[in-house]
Every structure is written in structure tokens, then in C-alpha cells.
């Protein structure tokens, strides 16, 4: 491990750092002090390099031979060698090439822009029903009743899973993804038990596919495509675990924060009411401003210099996507501000931010996430008028997902029209 003075900043991998929301001011202070800093971590006892520069994050992300996800996992937490070998190395997010490429080839073929576009009609019907369920009440708990519904329904439907099982998956993925938050997961053992529940379900799906092959994502993963062989049962259950968790929590998180930001900026919300064709641009700004996944880890596989820092073999490296997405040198002097018209000034905004990562682990569900967000806000914005926060927002305690656990809102009740 490298030996150099620790930077005097707040510990960015302590889950408590995010328990009351994103520490924007501290992240700005860190970012303006340079692209990479050596940090102490009393919570886990392993110092780390905090990377906040886009050029440096891109370099690390695009060179998995130098910076491994597999050696110590892609997560900030420390795990025993036994846990890494038995559990974590089976997850695609914790794989390096060439192992990670097998499942990615199949999913890339399944989630092409053309394929995703074909889901729009079904997703829009779901979005309409979700808003229908709360519109006449004039109030709701936005996270569970609205934001969480479409991403979960969508991924379950694409996997051929009955809608009546969605509550189980909602609870399981919450416990898995937010195991650092005692209000959402009792402890590590509870998170592991939730994971095993999902794995059991995946094994059942694999068995059903053998008896009755289907033309859905599950079928593609097990059957393979013209360009990629299918996964064996072990590979499938681990990939399914990640697919369900990441495909659900991430879009829920950005949708929740997007609604929060629109309530905090009513003038921008009104702009979207008046200009609904600008909603896709607004969704891109939501992705930039409140990235779902806060950070990821890499491990240096040899001595290397990055951003003027001498990183040693075995060093822990943290890529902080959230702070790079607020970089004034990239997004302008007002990068710390939310602006739904930013994409009109920066037409390739979608390509400039790192909400979906970059490199070997670039998110394969980008088209799906953008579609879900767009159709959801195209239903929310014209129908849930004059929304206001009711009480305090409850954030999740996590160094992985930038989540909101609870957000009660009020809005003008929608008057139901009588049938003609």
C-alpha cells in the first residue's frame, strides 16, 4: 500500500457521509483540489485513492488489465478472500475480461435501441396505470408508489416473471442493495438471505426454461444468440441476481431524485409542462445531476502513475462518478445547479456525463433506463400538477446507491372524468 500523507477531506466511502443526502459542497472542495487524493478510511482500515477527475476515471475504467474489478471486487467494502472466491467473483460487476464478456454479449444483443423502442407501448401503459393509482388522491409516498413501480415491473416483465411477485423482489432488492442501512436491511446476513431468495427464484426460472423455452431475456441468456453461447445454470443465476438488482434500483433512484429536483425548481417544472418535448433532455440532466451509483472500486495490478499520483500494486482505488458529473470544467460554471435546458446548450450531454460509467463496465441498460424515465415523467408531469414535498426526505445510508428511501408529496388531485 502506498505511503503518503492523507488528504484532509471527509471520508467518501463512509456510508454515514450520504445518510442525509449528497455532500455537494465537500465534493466540490475535493474536486477543485485535484483529480486524485489519498484518503484514510477508519471505518474499514484500508486507505484508498479517491479519483474525481473525468480523464483519470476514464483511463482507469478503460484499462482493466491495470485496474481490476475482480481482485478485491468493484465495491468499496472489504470482503474476506473466501467471500470473494465463493460469492463476489461470480457477479459480472466484479469480473474482468474475458470472463465478463460472455453475458454482456448476450444482453447487448437483447437491449439494442431498436429492441428497447419496441417496449415503449407496454411501458407507457404501465406508467399510466401507476399514475392512475395515485392521481385522484392528491398525495403519495413517491418512491414506493411511483418511482419504484415501472423499473421493477419492466425488468420482471422482460424476464417473464409474474407481476404478483414484484413485492417480493422489491423487498429482496432493497435488502440486498441497501445492506448498510439498518432501516432497510437488518445486517449482512439478511442481505445474503435476500440474495439467496433471488438465486432460488433464478434456479426455478432456469428449470422452467428447460421444459418450456421462452423468447425473453431469460431465454436469451440460457439459449445464447448467434454471436454468443448461452450461460450455464451457475453463470445464469449470478447474472440474474445482478440484473434484477441493478435494473430496478438505479432507475428508481434517478426518478425519485428527478421528482425532488422538479419540486425544488417549480419554474423548470412549468417549463416542461409547457414544453413536453423537452422531457427527454430533462431526464438526461437528472441522470447527470443525481447519478444512481455513487462510486465503484478498482484495485491496482501494478505500479502506475495516474493524475500525478504514484499508485502502487494492490492499492485501493475509488472512482467517484457523482462528483465528476458536477465538474465545472466540463458542464459549465453552473455545473452545481440543476438545469433541464442544459442539453440544449450541450447537445452531447448524454456522452459527457458518467451516470452509466464508462469502459468495460459501462451500463448495458442505458437505453432501457432512459425509456423508463421518459415515459414515467411524460405521465407524471402533466398529471401530478403543483407537486410539493410533504415532510422531510429520508435518504438511504449507502456508499453505493444514491437512494431516497421515503419521499411523501402532495399535488393537485386529478378529477376523474365521467364516461360519456
Confidence of residue 216 (pLDDT cuts 50, 70, 90): confident
How many helices and strands, by DSSP H and E, does the chain display? Answer: 19, 12
**Is residue 381 predicted with pLDDT exceeding 60?**
yes
For residue 64, give the 3-state DSSP assignment.
coil
- Asked if 255 and 376 touch (Cβ cutoff 8 Å), the reply is yes
The pLDDT value recorded for residue 356 is 97
Q: 355-377 b/e with 16+ CB inside 10 Å = b?
A: bbbbbbbebbbbbbbbbbbbbbb
Q: pLDDT grade, residue 176 (50/70/90)?
A: confident
Give 338-371 pLDDT, tens digit per residue.
999 999 999 999 999 999 999 999 999 999 999 9
Question: Is residue 418 in some structural domain?
Answer: no
In a domain, 292, yes or no: yes
Helix (H) or strand (E) holding 417: none
**pLDDT band at residue 289, thresholds of 50, 70 and 90?**
very high
Distances (CA, A) of 180 to 76, 177, 289, 362, 400: 12, 8, 23, 25, 9
Grid cell 454515514 — which residue? 16
Q: Is the pLDDT of residue 148 over 80?
A: yes
- 376 inside domain: yes
- How many angstroms from the chain centroid is the CA of residue 271? 27
Q: Which residues of 119-145 are buried (b: 16+ CB within 10 A; e: fewer)?
A: beeebbebbbebbeebbeebebbbbbb
Given a cut of 60, whether residue 138 has pLDDT beyond it is yes
Average pLDDT taken over every residue of the chain: 93
Domain that holds residue 121: 15-410
Q: pTM of the prediction?
A: 0.94
Helices (H), 178-211: 188-211
Please report whether residue 161 resides in a domain: yes
Residue 401 has pLDDT above 60, yes or no: yes
Cβ distance 130 to 150 under 8 Å?
yes
Question: Per residue in 227-252, is it b (16+ CB within 10 Å) or e — as a string?
Answer: ebebbeeebbbbbbbbbbbbbbbbbb
Q: Is residue 40 part of a domain?
A: yes
User: Which residue has better confidence, 2 or 241?
Assistant: 241
Least confident of 29-43, 52-66, 98-112: 98-112
* Separation CA 230–CA 213 (nearest Å): 13
Task: Identify whether 417 is part of a domain.
Answer: no
Domain count of the fold of the chain: 1
* Residue 185, pLDDT score: 56
Average pLDDT over residues 50-68: 98
Q: Does the residue 2 lie in any domain?
A: no
| Residue 190 counted as domain residue | yes
Which has the minimum average pLDDT: 62-76, 161-175, 277-291? 161-175
What CATH number is attached to the domain comprising 363? 1.10.630.10
Whether 194 and 171 have beta carbons less than 8 Å apart is answered as yes
Q: Count of CB atoms within 10 A of residue 199's CB? A: 15
Q: Who wins on pLDDT, 220 or 289?
A: 289
Give SS3 for 45.
coil
**For 176-198, what is the mean pLDDT?**
78
Task: Work out the pLDDT band at 419, boundaries 50, 70, 90.
Answer: very low
Amino acid at each position: 500500500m502506498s505511503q503518503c500523507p492523507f488528504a484532509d477531506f471527509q471520508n467518501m466511502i463512509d456510508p454515514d457521509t450520504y445518510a442525509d443526502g449528497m455532500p455537494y459542497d465537500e465534493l466540490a472542495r475535493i474536486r477543485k483540489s485535484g483529480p486524485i487524493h489519498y484518503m484514510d478510511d477508519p471505518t474499514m482500515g484500508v486507505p484508498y485513492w479517491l479519483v474525481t477527475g473525468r480523464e483519470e476515471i476514464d483511463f482507469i475504467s478503460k484499462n482493466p488489465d491495470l485496474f481490476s474489478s475482480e481482485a478485491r471486487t468493484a465495491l468499496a467494502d472489504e470482503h474476506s478472500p473466501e467471500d470473494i472466491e465463493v460469492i463476489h467473483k461470480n457477479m459480472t460487476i466484479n469480473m474482468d475480461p474475458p470472463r465478463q464478456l460472455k453475458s454482456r454479449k448476450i444482453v447487448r444483443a437483447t437491449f439494442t435501441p431498436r429492441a428497447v423502442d419496441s417496449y415503449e407501448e407496454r411501458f407507457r401503459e404501465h406508467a399510466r396505470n401507476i399514475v392512475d393509482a395515485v392521481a385522484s388522491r392528491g398525495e403519495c409516498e413517491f418512491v414506493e408508489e411511483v418511482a419504484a413501480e415501472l423499473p421493477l415491473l419492466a425488468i420482471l416483465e422482460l424476464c417473464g416473471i409474474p407481476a404478483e411477485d414484484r413485492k417480493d423482489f422489491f423487498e429482496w432488492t432493497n435488502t440486498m442493495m441497501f445492506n448498510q442501512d439498518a432501516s432497510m436491511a437488518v445486517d449482512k446476513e439478511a442481505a445474503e438471505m435476500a440474495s439467496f431468495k433471488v438465486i432460488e427464484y433464478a434456479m426455478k426460472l432456469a428449470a422452467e426454461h428447460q421444459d418450456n423455452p421462452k423468447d425473453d431475456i431469460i431465454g436469451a441468456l440460457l439459449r445464447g444468440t448467434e454471436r454468443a453461447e448461452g450461460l450455464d445454470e451457475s453463470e445464469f443465476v449470478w447474472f440474474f441476481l445482478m440484473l434484477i438488482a441493478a435494473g430496478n434500483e438505479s432507475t428508481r433512484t434517478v426518478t425519485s431524485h428527478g421528482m425532488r429536483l422538479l419540486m425544488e425548481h417549480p419554474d423548470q417544472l412549468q417549463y416542461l409542462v409547457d414544453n413536453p418535448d423537452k422531457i427527454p433532455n430533462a431526464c438526461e440532466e437528472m441522470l447527470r445531476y443525481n447519478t444512481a451509483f455513487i462510486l465503484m472500486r478498482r484495485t491496482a495490478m501494478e505500479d502506475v502513475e495516474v493524475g500525478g499520483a504514484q499508485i502502487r500494486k494492490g492499492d485501493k482505488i475509488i472512482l467517484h462518478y457523482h462528483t465528476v458529473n458536477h465538474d465545472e470544467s466540463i458542464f459549465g460554471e453552473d455545473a452545481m445547479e440543476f438545469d433541464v435546458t442544459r442539453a440544449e446548450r450541450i447537445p452531447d450531454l448524454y456522452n459527457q456525463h458518467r451516470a452509466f460509467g464508462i469502459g468495460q463496465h459501462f451500463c448495458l441498460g442505458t437505453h432501457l433506463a432512459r425509456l423508463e424515465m421518459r415515459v414515467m415523467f411524460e405521465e407524471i408531469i402533466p398529471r401530478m400538477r403543483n407537486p410539493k414535498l410533504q415532510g422531510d426526505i429520508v435518504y438511504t445510508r449507502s456508499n453505493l446507491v444514491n437512494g431516497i428511501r421515503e419521499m411523501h408529496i402532495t399535488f393537485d388531485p386529478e378529477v376523474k372524468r365521467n364516461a360519456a
